[in-house]
Structure 1
């Protein structure tokens, strides 16, 4: 009888403990986040660069108009240069929040986009070289653009290692203009 009570008490206690413990909760299956992040990251990089190109369009166009018309001065260039530097800094900041990515087929597209941006900047600024006498702060302007552009390129290289080699290959013809503009940081970033 003692054994029967002991067994009953044991079973009762075991059942109470089992009933008191919560039922296991089904855990969701892990999602392949890395692959999704890489795709989003590459498209995000391209999005940042496309936005940059769009943001540069107006100020670079205005700079070209001023230089072609012979009307470039410190007073009318300063806000345009500031817009260019701001756009480059915004792109650099946006890229610093992205994760690195590796999607080989998009590297050439991104390299072409970056080469276009560098070419647009170089073309707009090269017209100012003939106006240097009426633009005493030209060296300062070029230096600020050089530093900001170099940051964008270095940020891009961090995200897509090796992509600047592709960009440099596309900019061989522009390297001379980059040198004339004294954009040494940009040249160094590109390895030209």
Structure 2
């Protein structure tokens, strides 16, 4: 009994010593930068900007009937790369986040933004999904999009419920593109 109390005291003392050594008083290293909703919104704004050109080109090629695998593949690769960059950025925000409360309004804004991004991707790819060879590229987009969604859910718990509500009408297109990971993340 005495030994277990002494062991507990020793463990607490070691823990306190490790904490005080890791972040001495007055040290700027002790300040943890928070991931805020503004950081997340900025990441999504960058993603929207990065997706604008390739999605517009995919949509144009699909609607004009000029889409071929050779013309669409580099554009789909750009979409996948932009999603990967956004996923990495969200992971970076997650690594430096601290516990903080976010405002419901900003969650709604972020949900609206990501719902718009998912809708834009889905609509663009739906126009070229029947082009021979394109179906083989879609699982990569689904995986990258799913990673972005998972990163958002990690940063803002419950935000995917808001996104799913906004994407009910897009669910059929997601199914037709075989975006199973995205559908599963959204619970659709």
TM-score, length of structure 2 as denominator length: 0.78
Measured after TM superposition, the shift of residue 126 of structure 1 is 1.2
SS of the equivalent of 1:161 reads coil
1:116 matched residue in structure 2: 116
Measured against aligned partners, the alpha-carbon deviations of 1:114-148 in whole angstroms (never above 9, x if no partner) come to 0000000011111113xx2xx32211211111010
1:82 matched residue in structure 2: 77
Q: Distance in 1 between matches of 2:128 and 2:113?
A: 24
Q: Distance in 1 between matches of 2:155 and 2:175?
A: 26
2:181 pairs with 1:185:
yes
2:92 pairs with 1:97:
yes
2:140 pairs with 1:141:
no
Larger Rg: 1
1:159 matched residue in structure 2: 155
Measured after TM superposition, the shift of residue 29 of structure 1 is 10
Measured after TM superposition, the shift of residue 104 of structure 1 is 2.7
Please, which runs of 5 or more residues in structure 1 have no aligned partner? 1-26
Kept in 1: contact 2:73–2:134 (CA 8 A):
no
2:42 matched residue in structure 1: 47
TM-score, length of structure 1 as denominator length: 0.77
Kept in 2: contact 1:102–1:160 (CA 8 A):
no
Kept in 2: contact 1:42–1:102 (CA 8 A):
no
Measured after TM superposition, the shift of residue 72 of structure 1 is 0.7
